[in-house]
Amino acid sequence: MEIASMNNDEKPSNFFTKGLLWFKSLHEKIYTKIVGIAKQFKTIAKDDPRRVIHSLKVGLSLTLVSLFYYFQPLYNGFGVSTMWAIMTVVVVFEFSVGATLGKGLNRGMATLLAGALGVGAHYLASATGKVAEPILLGLFVFLQAFALTFIRFFPQVKARYDYGMLILILTFCLVSISGFRVDEIVDMAHKRISTILMGASVCVIVSIVVCPVWAGEDLHKLVAQNMEKLGKFLEGFGDEIFKSSEDSTESKVTKTSLIEYKSVLNSKNSEETLANFAKWEPGHGQFKYRHPWKQYLKIGGLIRQCAYRIDALNAYINSEIKAPEEIREMIKETSMKMSIECGKALKELSKSMRKMNLPISADEHVTNAKNSAKKLNSLLKSRINNWEEINLLQVIPLATIASILTDIVICVEEIGQGVNELASLANFKTTKSSKEIINTNKVIVVEKIELSNNHVVITINEQNMKL
């Protein structure tokens, strides 16, 4: 008994200190956790402030829809069905207008179709008598669930109508089975469809009216941005690889901008998702309703091809190149020119795409890059006989870089063609009057305009511009 009481005497203080310590450490842990989460909140909001706006929009839409509950006349009309409006808002409201519209239309159309089919199935089954009815209904449910679930695997369906298929299965089951119990099936279907349409309308209106996020615009910007990232790499690559070892101190700043291209390697999925959403969107800003979104996927694919080559180049960015001075200089000049001209072409293409202008000087940059590639080839051919005792091993990295750059020139040319196709499909504007063509240092002066027979003859005179 004494021992027990002693233990009891000691325990409380011990327990108390331990508890205090535990509480203190818990408090600290929770504090650091909360600070961490708050920081993450901030970064996520800063990365894309539209996220905050989107959250506010969802809150607003839900509050709007929940008003239905408070207005007595509306509630009396629809009763518990008002619930479907809330469900629709929560499920349909997406980040971009295209996604919201797509889901809303899918939900609306699928509900209508499934409602009709469900009512039909219900009447058909109830006509067969009390015994066969549940069996027939069970069969209907099984068959439509099987068929529609399988159809969801079709790539075309998966891309655009996946959600509609889900709602089709759901609504058909609910209508056909609940019809087995509730008599006023048509009335119920009517109420449900009205509330769903109401909810979907609120979503679509809020999504379009309050700071809309257009998936099409995002896709447009993403593709242009990806081009720019590759352009940045190629412009910086020449300096980075041929720099002397002394000026390596400042390379850290440029290096972070160089590895931006890495995100391009895995951009396929987001591009496809955005293109699918964009197809649902009405005309907005510079984009018409049937803007050629497919062409963006094509350009995106070409950009990725180029990014793979750039990733192969990037492996050489940290390796030291010990080629003989003569070869180094020769390859350096042409390679840098190729790299920089490709970079300029991509940046120009990106810029003209952003502004939806016809690319002006991109073709010229590509031609320059191609000429450099040709020059390199002829240099290698002509001067090889003069060299003796060159170390092939030391030349290989340089040769590889030059070779990959030649591939990149071809890629960039294809990207340029892709952008030109897009420009003609989407009617990009010309920026300057046809009188002046920038960047060629030439001025075309219209000298004479005359009408002969049915033709207009314009005599022009090309002059070098004095800069």
Binding to a copy of itself, residues 289-328 (CB under 8 A): 304-305, 308-309, 311-312, 315
Work out which of 137, 234, 346, 412 binds a copy of itself, going by CB under 8 A. 137
Binding to a copy of itself, residues 61-120 (CB under 8 A): 62-63, 66-67, 69-70, 75, 80, 83, 86-87, 90-91
User: Among residues 88 and 352, whose Cβ is nearest to a copy of itself?
Assistant: 88
Instruction: Residue 281: name the closest of 436, 30, 105 by CA.
Output: 105
CB of 400 to a copy of itself, least distance (A): 4
Work out which of 12, 138, 282, 285 binds a copy of itself, going by CB under 8 A. 138
CB of 135 to a copy of itself, least distance (A): 10
Q: Which pair of tokens denotes residue 97?
A: 């207008």
275 makes contact with a copy of itself (CB under 8 A):
no
For residues 169 and 144, the answer to whether their CB atoms sit within 8 Å is yes
**Cα radius of gyration (the chain):** 33
56 makes contact with a copy of itself (CB under 8 A):
yes
147 makes contact with a copy of itself (CB under 8 A):
yes
> What binding mask, one character per residue, do residues 228-267 give for a copy of itself by CB under 8 A, x or -?
-------------------------------------xx-
> What binding mask, one character per residue, do residues 387-416 give for a copy of itself by CB under 8 A, x or -?
-xxxxxx-xxx-xx-xxx--x---------
User: Among residues 51 and 284, whose Cβ is nearest to a copy of itself?
Assistant: 51
Instruction: Residue 328: name the closest of 385, 395, 373 by CA.
Output: 395
User: Among residues 299 and 426, whose Cβ is nearest to a copy of itself?
Assistant: 299
154 makes contact with a copy of itself (CB under 8 A):
yes
Stretch that binds a copy of itself, among 139-147, 245-253, 354-362, 420-428 (CB under 8 A): 139-147
Instruction: Residue 343: name the closest of 256, 225, 232 by CA.
Output: 232
Work out which of 7, 25, 55, 461 binds a copy of itself, going by CB under 8 A. 55
268 makes contact with a copy of itself (CB under 8 A):
yes
Size of the site for a copy of itself (CB under 8 A): 78
Work out which of 26, 60, 127, 446 binds a copy of itself, going by CB under 8 A. 60
Give the length of the chain. 467
Binding to a copy of itself, residues 362-381 (CB under 8 A): 377, 380-381
CB of 308 to a copy of itself, least distance (A): 5
Stretch that binds a copy of itself, among 20-28, 38-46, 345-353, 422-430 (CB under 8 A): 38-46
123 makes contact with a copy of itself (CB under 8 A):
no
Binding to a copy of itself, residues 170-229 (CB under 8 A): 170, 173-174, 177-178, 180-181
CB of 279 to a copy of itself, least distance (A): 20
User: Among residues 410 and 460, whose Cβ is nearest to a copy of itself?
Assistant: 410
- DSSP collapsed to 3 states, the chain: CHHHHHHHHHHHHHHHHHHHHHHHHHHHHHHHHHHHHHHHHHHHHHHCCHHHHHHHHHHHHHHHHHHHHHCHHHHHHHHHHHHHHHHHHHHHCCCCHHHHHHHHHHHHHHHHHHHHHHHHHHHHHHCCCCCHHHHHHHHHHHHHHHHHHHHCCCHHHHHHCHHHHHHHHHHHHHHHHHCCCCCCHHHHHHHHHHHHHHHHHHHHHHHHHCCCCCHHHHHHHHHHHHHHHHHHHHHHHHHHHHCCHHHHCCHHHHHHHHHHHHHHHCCHHHHHHHHHHHCCCCCECCECCCCCHHHHHHHHHHHHHHHHHHHHHHCCCCCCCCCCHHHHHHHHHHHHHHHHHHHHHHHHHHHHHHHCECCCCHHHHHHHHHHHHHHHHHHHHHHHHHCCCCCHHHHHHHHHHHHHHHHHHHHHHHHHHHHHHHHHHCCCECCCCCCEECCCCEEEEEEEEEEECCEEEEEEEEEECCC
Stretch that binds a copy of itself, among 12-20, 40-48, 97-105, 207-215 (CB under 8 A): 40-48
CB of 224 to a copy of itself, least distance (A): 21
136 makes contact with a copy of itself (CB under 8 A):
no
141 makes contact with a copy of itself (CB under 8 A):
yes
For the packed helices 97-126 and 82-92, what is the interaxial angle rounded to 10 degrees? 140
Give, in order, the Cα–Cα distances in Å from 335 to each of 112, 256, 311, 330, 401. Answer: 63, 22, 17, 9, 8
User: Among residues 133 and 364, whose Cβ is nearest to a copy of itself?
Assistant: 133
User: Among residues 46 and 435, whose Cβ is nearest to a copy of itself?
Assistant: 46
CB of 446 to a copy of itself, least distance (A): 45
445 makes contact with a copy of itself (CB under 8 A):
no
